[in-house]
């Protein structure tokens, strides 16, 4: 059984399109990244999964249950951190936790205290007096304190300082370790690159790709820089499939390679190479490449 199964999910707000024909599946225990710029449809998809928005057409199933009909049963098994977490100005984090614990039928606050210590979250001050980052920490604790089977995070590290971002990434790793499925919507590509097993990319309401992270990065063009001892036009390299953007100047060559490097290295072996550097593309470059291709630009 899949953890999340979305089939042709479409949501229109009047004539304005939110998402259209979004289809993907997330396996149990998988960390799935949902990427896209603001307004692409990430939050609309999450809100449809949580039954906060009712889809115009299509369906979503979580743990095999229908997201509309079985919404309450589904929500008993998940934790959610909304994109712009808030709980009013007066309530403290502890009050919010107590209420959520009672609604979930949990005695006590579960592992909330340990998480508060770990994230250095102040559970006793009214949320209205906390900074965005400190509120976000409380939101993370509210989403995770009951050890759910599925975690849904919408821009989870927004407002967190770098140390707490690291702590969050470690937490996701631990959650995955105990078998929890994690669905992360983000436009922080570095974060997604570090924690996700697979990513879905959404653009203007449509899912344009779903890839394993390793495949995605492997498909990308690497930037290679070579320093030669002698002057050469490297025509043999230029002729290789997958090599592009070759520029040679003063014995230094720069080019891009798509796919396997084996032929490139064999071609370079016929020259006297004094230095070589291959830069793995960041997810951001891969992502932008996808967007350019799908958008028909460049």
Partner 1 sequence: MSAQLAALVSSHLSDRRRSLLAWGLPIGLMSAFIVAIFPSVEDSVSKVVEKYPAGLKEAFGIGQLSDVEQYLHAEMLSLIVPLALGYLAVRAVASGLAGAAESGRLDVLLSAPVSRRRLCAAGFLATAVELAAVLAISLLLTMLGSALAGAGLDAGRAAAGFAGVWPLALLFAGLGVIACAWSLRTSVVTGAVAGVLVAMYVVDLIGRLDPSFDWLRYASVFKYYGNAIEDGIEPIAFAGVTVAACALAAIGAWLFDRRDISA
Binding site residues, partner 1, CB under 8 A:
13, 47, 50-54, 71-73, 75-76, 78-80, 82, 84-91, 95-96, 99-100, 102-105, 139, 142-143
**CB 114 → partner 1: shortest distance, Å?**
20
Nearer to partner 1, 152 or 172 (CB): 152
Contact criterion met (CB below 8 Å) for 46 and 185 = yes
Nearer to partner 1, 125 or 238 (CB): 125
Residue that has been written with the tokens 């030669």 in this structure: 228
Q: Please give the structure tokens belonging to residue 33.
A: 């990244």
Nearer to partner 1, 132 or 280 (CB): 132
**CB 25 → partner 1: shortest distance, Å?**
22
- 256-262 long-range contacts (CB < 8 A, ≥24 apart) are 256/221, 256/222, 256/223, 256/224, 257/221, 257/222, 257/224, 258/219, 258/220, 258/221, 258/222, 259/219, 261/222, 261/224
How far apart (Å, rounded) are the C-alpha atoms in residues 28 and 63?
9
Nearer to partner 1, 46 or 164 (CB): 46
Nearer to partner 1, 53 or 203 (CB): 53
**CB 112 → partner 1: shortest distance, Å?**
14
**CB 70 → partner 1: shortest distance, Å?**
11
Nearer to partner 1, 96 or 220 (CB): 96
**CB 83 → partner 1: shortest distance, Å?**
9
- 110-116 long-range contacts (CB < 8 A, ≥24 apart) are 110/145, 110/146, 110/147, 111/144, 111/145, 111/147, 112/141, 112/145, 115/140, 115/141, 115/144, 115/145, 116/141
Q: How many residues does the chain have?
A: 298
Q: Name which of 163, 152, 173, 176 is nearest 120 in CA terms.
A: 163
Q: Parallel, antiparallel, or unpaired for β 31-35 and 16-26?
A: unpaired
**CB 265 → partner 1: shortest distance, Å?**
51
């Amino acid at each position: 059984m899949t953890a999340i199964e979305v089939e042709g999910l479409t949501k229109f707000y009047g004539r304005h399109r939110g998402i259209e024909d979004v289809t993907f599946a997330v396996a149990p225990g998988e960390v799935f990244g949902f990427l896209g710029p603001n307004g692409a449809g990430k939050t609309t998809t999450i809100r449809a999964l949580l039954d906060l928005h009712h889809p115009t057409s299509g369906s979503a199933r979580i743990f095999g249950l229908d997201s509309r009909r079985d919404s309450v049963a589904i929500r008993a098994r998940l934790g959610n951190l909304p994109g712009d977490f808030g709980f009013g100005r007066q309530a403290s984090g502890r009050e919010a936790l107590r209420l959520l614990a009672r609604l979930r039928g949990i005695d006590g606050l579960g592992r909330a205290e340990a998480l508060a210590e770990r994230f250095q979250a102040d559970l006793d001050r009214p949320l209205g007096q906390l900074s965005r980052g400190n509120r976000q920490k409380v939101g993370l604790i509210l989403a995770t304190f009951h050890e759910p089977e599925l975690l849904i995070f919408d821009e989870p590290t927004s407002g967190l300082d770098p140390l707490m971002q690291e702590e969050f990434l470690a937490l996701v790793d631990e959650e995955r370790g105990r078998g929890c499925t994690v669905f992360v919507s983000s436009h922080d590509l570095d974060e997604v690159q570090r924690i996700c097993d697979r990513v879905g990319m959404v653009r203007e309401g449509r899912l344009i790709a779903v890839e394993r992270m390793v495949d995605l990065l492997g498909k990308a063009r690497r930037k290679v820089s070579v320093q030669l001892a002698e002057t050469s036009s490297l025509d043999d390299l230029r002729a290789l499939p997958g090599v592009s953007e070759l520029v040679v100047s003063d014995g230094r060559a720069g080019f891009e390679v798509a796919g396997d490097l084996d032929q490139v290295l064999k071609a370079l072996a016929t020259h006297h190479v004094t230095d070589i550097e291959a830069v793995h593309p960041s997810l951001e470059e891969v992502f932008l490449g996808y967007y350019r291709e799908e958008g028909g630009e460049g």
